[in-house]
Structure 1
Amino acid sequence: MNSSAGSNVFVLISILAISIVVLLLLRHFLPLRSTPAYLLVPIFLALALPISIILLVPIDLASSSRNVDDASRGIWLPQVAVQIAWRITYWLTFALTWLILPLLGEYVDSGYRTPRDRLLYSLRSNGRYQLIALGCGLAGLVYIFLQNGFKGTSIKGLIMALAYCWGLIFAIYLMGHGLVAIPRRLVRNANISGRLRRLQAQAPKVYDRQTTAIAELEDLEGQVTLLRQRKNGISRDHQEWIEELADMAELPDGRFSSSLPSPARATIPAVITDRYLAEVSRKLTRARHKRIRYIDTWDHLVRCAHELQTIIDASTTKRLDFGKPSPHASFFDRLTLLTPSTRYVLYAKIIPGIRLALAVVLALASAFVVWSELIKFAAPRLSLISLTVVTHRGDASEVTFAGQLVASLWLMYMCAAALASFGDVKIWGNRALVRRNTYGESAAWYSGQIAKLTVPLAYNFVTFLPQEIHKETTFYHFLGSLIDLTPLGQGFDYFFPMFILLPVCATLFNLYGRIQKIFHLGLIEDDDEETPAGFGGGGWREGRELIQRELNGRSQLGLTARQDRLVSPRASGYSTPTGAGGRRSQLPIHTSAPPAPLQEPSQSSTGERQAQRLAEATRAAEDEDENVFQGFAHRVRNTFDAVERPDWLSDLGKRPKWMGSADGGSENRGRPESGRGVGRWFGGRAADGRVRL
């Protein structure tokens, strides 16, 4: 029997390479020096362990093959080593996903000063979710006890089966969307003019979000200024806390309260409590990161649009020159190996061709995955993934080294399809990944979701293979046998993945856009959304003017103006915006005067948003001490008031013309419609289109 020394060396080198890749990934999104170790280490493990599963599954397939000699089975390890690796990887991933990372996310986002208060807040926030999960677990435990009797393995199997089922439901939906979105995005980006037009159409929305984020931060900074000027009724600890908030906001000492609108004064309660200051601290930290996020998004959009426009303009001269790179640009951006002529050929011809070819390959891969999900129960040997991984020699089936490489590629693509959907599906709140400035709560949440998806996708991939292969793996004996503990679990592995057709068809035929137009929802970011062509409607012409205005302002400020828009990592305790010194005075966001068609809509919409935010903050301060039943009634009323009824539903309550007016004649004309329909049960809709909280 041959030794596995060569495989051991390969595994060690692979683990080292995975660790380096994860560190580079963390460096791209997080400031490593200022991020505390209690947050950085769990996030590192939550990324490194799922990536190692992509390596562990092919090794398990080769190590479990009995019909292959040691010389031809590729990379393999002893069964004991594979079993220990699966136990460590699974249970550590399970603990990170369901316990450690949720607690750390709420701990970072608590807003309190002391570690004890942060921990208590995190436990309270996660306790509700854990109680719901425990209730579902008790119902499943009763079913398992009735099916298999009272055994020690029943509880363990229940925990693993519930985690697997929830992760698989989540993964199938995201993967189905990504299998269509990735090839489609490559095809769209291959067309340079079409990609530029889409960026211009997105520009007004991104610009408006950036302006709103800056205005929200200014409101919170004004609130901190009012707190700072208040001297009576505040303890020494609270005064120190307020000074820390002022340092976080980088407020100057010479700001006067007379410059603030009067509604902002109403947001300061009569009694300052720890809960109130923690809420202000949490909102201020989120607002700072939100501003950095949209500034970075806007900057990336402007830079990409400028590069695309430069490529299009170079079509006459066949010479492409992006200009002098910024001193803060990456190493690859500063390389000048190409001449202007070869650079034009690369960006205008070669890269679009590569994108089209890659789109065709990935579209075929997506079709293979969907076909394998549908056929694996009826005829697993017809699975196209199984045919590319398993080698058949007579009656024997084996996984060779080539099959291991192909299996790793399939796993990487399935995980990439699921993870690529995180940027499209708009149900994650305000969480986002920002270069070098990702918020700690967002980083913990994203890493936890990655760890949660990888194990179900890995086992789902194993079920593509024939049963005589996947039931011999250590992965099946460790996880699959407990999932198949009941008849309900046995069918779930094979029948539920067929529902992948739902997200695939929804993305392929743009059902999300149709639903969004009917119900005014924003579940999926649709690049094909048709926008008006005029000013003020978010059309591409308005986006072109905004981008051009931004580029003209940058050309007047110099090459380093983009880097001065961000603030350096300091204020949120572990990461804050980059740059020292001042605040808004050092943010040259709009330097040139806006054109006349764009000035009035921008100013009016910003003023309305600020007035609406201040009014909502005033109502929130007044309702701070409401009881549970009042809060529930307000939320129910808010839910019904926020729904916009379709035209056909509004016409159902109207009388025919031959029966007379439903409004009782002209005496009711001009009255608001808040007393009609379901809204009158909960007090009607608030004035000026606002939503009551």
Structure 2
Amino acid sequence: MAFANRPTPVGSAIFLSFFFLLICLLALTVLRRFLTLRATPAYILLPVYLALVLPASVVLLVPVDLASSTREGNPPKGIWLPDRAVLVLWRITYWLIFVLTWIILPILGEFVDSGYRDPRNRLIYSLRSNARYHATVLACGVVGLIYVSIQNGFEFSSIRALVMALAYVWGLILAIYLMGHGLVSIPRTFWRQANNADSLRRLQVHALKVHDRLTDAITNLEELEAKLRELQRRKTGSAAAFEDWIDELAEYSDHSESQAHPLRPAGPVNVPAVITERYMADLSRRLQRARHQKARFVSEWHHLVQSAARYQAILNSSASQKLDFNQLRSDGLASPMQSTLVTPYMRYHIYVHILPAIRLLLAAVCAGASFCVVWSELIKTIAPRYSIISLSLVPRPDDQGQVGFGGQVLSALWLLYMCSAALKGVHDAQVWGNRALVRRNTYGESACWYAGQVARLTVPLSYNFVTFLPGDIHRGTIFYHFLGQYIDLTPLGKGFDYFFPVLVLFPVCATMFNLYGRIKKALGLSMVEDDDGDADGMPGEYGTGGWREGRALIERELNGLGSLGIASGVSPATSVAGTSDVPPVRRGARGHRTPPAAGSSRRPAVPLATSSDSDSDENVFQSFAHRVRNTFETASTPRWLQGDFSGLRPPRWMSGESGGQGPPSRGGGGFLNQLFGGRSTQGYSRL
């Protein structure tokens, strides 16, 4: 009879199987959003898909581990599994993530980005590129192995502990820094999106940067395609041996678009006299990157123009209190509220009153959650019983430390928010070179890299989350027996998880007080995608004329007069403002923005529909101050104050240029970049 009353995990297993299937479907949806499933090879789809499913299953496995390990002597109150089953799941998940992160995805990314036609040459190139990075890691590991072997003896458990500790420490350093940035960025994003006028102004400021990058991307692609056309004209010599390769590269080029495009290479096309396989691989690699970089900024520019048109339509609807998005092109970027069930009057109240209120509420909730995470990181080493996250999971002492179903749901939400904050930091940071996620057109190497980052950050954040709980609870989990005890075994990991996360205050304060923007202004660097120059949340170029130039660019694109020839498909009736009398922004040979001549900056005929442009109630003193401010705003800023140092050419050893006629060096950053398997990232570092 006692055996009959014994609880069984059958219901929990069915529940977990259902949610795991749901995770697989969601991962497939995310993969379909950024990759074309039919056109992407299976050897890319499968590892990237596993790198999304396995970290998401960790978010589901941690609550199950908490409920399973705290049920001793008590009836289970949540979803639980036997200890042996949880251990097997942890082993499978962890080692699959480890192999994907450190071996498969890096090799696969370089394999896709190699530029060679032969799979054997691709594999050799990939192994050689990753060998430099792994050789450095192996050298550090050998030093650590000698120290651990002297202290604990040369055993297999010591080697495994060292490998797990090194991977955990490196992942935790990266995860804590990125999570600290995301804990501030997520609530700030919701807060800023609650104001439609400020959101439009930020889009106008950001339009200049996106337009410049798109122009540079198009110019770079034109130069490379000009080299390809020059190679096609050569029918004799060394180029004849690569005729099929050249024709294959030319098939992916849209010559009709490039011939109709106004941008052209400024100087002569330099092609070496002797064409080698290495040169062809380098040209193929650069063409692939340039094409995907152009697709990235075309998509970003198109989305920015569509968003600006929607925000302006919302602002213009304040007079009639009717909002209609029918004039926007229905290509997936139009409003989701475009339905016959929602009247224009109802749509106006939704976008003007309801959605801003919801965003403010989400900003407050996320700000509170960020405070709880930071507080728990700081207090867990001093007084772990006062950790807010710990109190939310085990609120009452009479539960004997048992985590129920409600605690499992909260733990999954806490862990999901921490991982989302870290991924937000990955998205905002710009130290990853040209890697980016593009809707339905993501580069294969970028997809492998981002999937690797998702897998790399999840496990350290998950174990860091478990340490928020009291010591008797987190030391009793299967996760601790599998990973934590090996981390504590080594001097590198012992106590590291308790003291290092205190440094989360540095990225939190740096993001909160806009340290990145101040460094960017002081050194001319672009470290983090932050368009705000002040800590109060106003755009950094507010009042300097930058937003006016951005508004002119957006307006010309909406009217079909854009200099890039990328039609956004939006009717001019929903334009940002009538800017027919605003001169176009002049560009240099390489697409850099130059300020308009003095006296050519004029305000558009139709003012921006914001309260700041209204001057009907100004008195004499306010009018005088307004005119003085406009005098300084419309003044032309010297190019050297804008950070334009195009006239200063760095030395050849800094720019990575080769002295001969051969292909340029792959690293672009010298010996250190080649040592770490770097790619041509225009001066950025690869982590």
1:540 aligns with 2:538: no
From the superposition, tell whether residues 395 and 320 of structure 1 become closer, same or farther in structure 2 (CA, over 3 Å).
closer
Post-superposition Cα deviations, 1:621-643, rounded to whole Å, max 9, x if no partner, equal 72648999x9969999xxxxxxx
Q: Which amino acid is 1:18 matched to?
A: I
How far apart in 1 are the matches of 2:440 and 2:183?
29
Conserved? CA contact 2:47–2:105, under 8 Å: yes
Q: Which amino acid is 1:598 matched to?
A: P
Shift of 1:385: 0.3
Q: Which amino acid is 2:43 matched to?
A: Y
Stretch of structure 1 that moved more, 405-414 or 599-608: 599-608
Stretch of structure 1 that moved more, 322-331 or 490-499: 322-331
Shift of 1:467: 1.1
Conserved? CA contact 2:52–2:451, under 8 Å: yes
From the superposition, tell whether residues 239 and 633 of structure 1 become closer, same or farther in structure 2 (CA, over 3 Å).
same
Q: Which amino acid is 2:465 matched to?
A: F
Shift of 1:524: 1.5
From the superposition, tell whether residues 45 and 170 of structure 1 become closer, same or farther in structure 2 (CA, over 3 Å).
same
Conserved? CA contact 1:392–1:398, under 8 Å: no
Shift of 1:212: 1.2
Shift of 1:394: 3.0
Conserved? CA contact 2:219–2:591, under 8 Å: no
Match of 2:54 in 1: 49
Q: Which amino acid is 2:122 matched to?
A: R
Post-superposition Cα deviations, 1:128-177, rounded to whole Å, max 9, x if no partner, equal 00101101111111121122122220000000000000000000000001
How far apart in 2 are the matches of 1:451 and 1:468?
28
Among 89, 96, 105, the residue aligned to 1:92: 96
Q: Which amino acid is 1:495 matched to?
A: F
SS at match of 1:35: coil
Match of 1:187 in 2: 191
Shift of 1:334: 5.1
TM-score between both structures, scaled by the size of structure 1: 0.81
How many residues are paired up? 599
Higher share of residues assigned helix: 1
1:597 aligns with 2:591: no
How far apart in 2 are the matches of 1:229 and 1:635?
35
Match of 2:69 in 1: 64
**Unpaired segments ≥5 residues, structure 2:** 1-5, 534-538, 571-577, 595-643, 675-687
Stretch of structure 1 that moved more, 149-158 or 164-173: 149-158
Among 15, 18, 26, the residue aligned to 2:20: 15
Shift of 1:423: 2.1
Among 229, 232, 236, the residue aligned to 1:232: 236
SS at match of 2:493: helix
Post-superposition Cα deviations, 1:588-634, rounded to whole Å, max 9, x if no partner, equal xxxx9986632544678569999999x99996472648999x99699
How far apart in 2 are the matches of 1:260 and 1:466?
65
Match of 1:406 in 2: 410
**Unpaired segments ≥5 residues, structure 1:** 565-591, 637-693
Q: Which amino acid is 1:278 matched to?
A: A
Q: Which amino acid is 1:141 matched to?
A: L
How far apart in 1 are the matches of 2:79 and 2:665?
63
From the superposition, tell whether residues 443 and 612 of structure 1 become closer, same or farther in structure 2 (CA, over 3 Å).
farther
Matches within 5 A, 1:642-657: none
Among 316, 320, 341, the residue aligned to 2:319: 316
Match of 2:598 in 1: none
How far apart in 2 are the matches of 1:399 and 1:341?
48
RMSD after superposition: 3.3
Match of 1:281 in 2: 284
Match of 1:507 in 2: 511
Among 155, 163, 168, the residue aligned to 2:172: 168
Conserved? CA contact 1:531–1:538, under 8 Å: no
Q: Which amino acid is 1:420 matched to?
A: K
SS at match of 1:490: coil
Match of 1:567 in 2: none
Post-superposition Cα deviations, 1:504-524, rounded to whole Å, max 9, x if no partner, equal 111111111222222222111
Stretch of structure 1 that moved more, 322-331 or 427-436: 322-331
Among 125, 131, 134, the residue aligned to 1:127: 131
Conserved? CA contact 1:63–1:73, under 8 Å: no
Shift of 1:41: 0.3
SS at match of 1:598: coil
Q: Which amino acid is 1:526 matched to?
A: D
From the superposition, tell whether residues 506 and 329 of structure 1 become closer, same or farther in structure 2 (CA, over 3 Å).
closer
From the superposition, tell whether residues 26 and 383 of structure 1 become closer, same or farther in structure 2 (CA, over 3 Å).
same
Match of 1:622 in 2: 660
TM-score between both structures, scaled by the size of structure 2: 0.81
How far apart in 2 are the matches of 1:177 and 1:261?
40
SS at match of 2:401: strand
Match of 1:272 in 2: 275
From the superposition, tell whether residues 203 and 240 of structure 1 become closer, same or farther in structure 2 (CA, over 3 Å).
same
SS at match of 2:489: coil
Shift of 1:264: 3.5
Q: Percent identity?
A: 52
Among 421, 427, 440, the residue aligned to 1:423: 427
From the superposition, tell whether residues 68 and 190 of structure 1 become closer, same or farther in structure 2 (CA, over 3 Å).
farther
Conserved? CA contact 1:531–1:539, under 8 Å: no
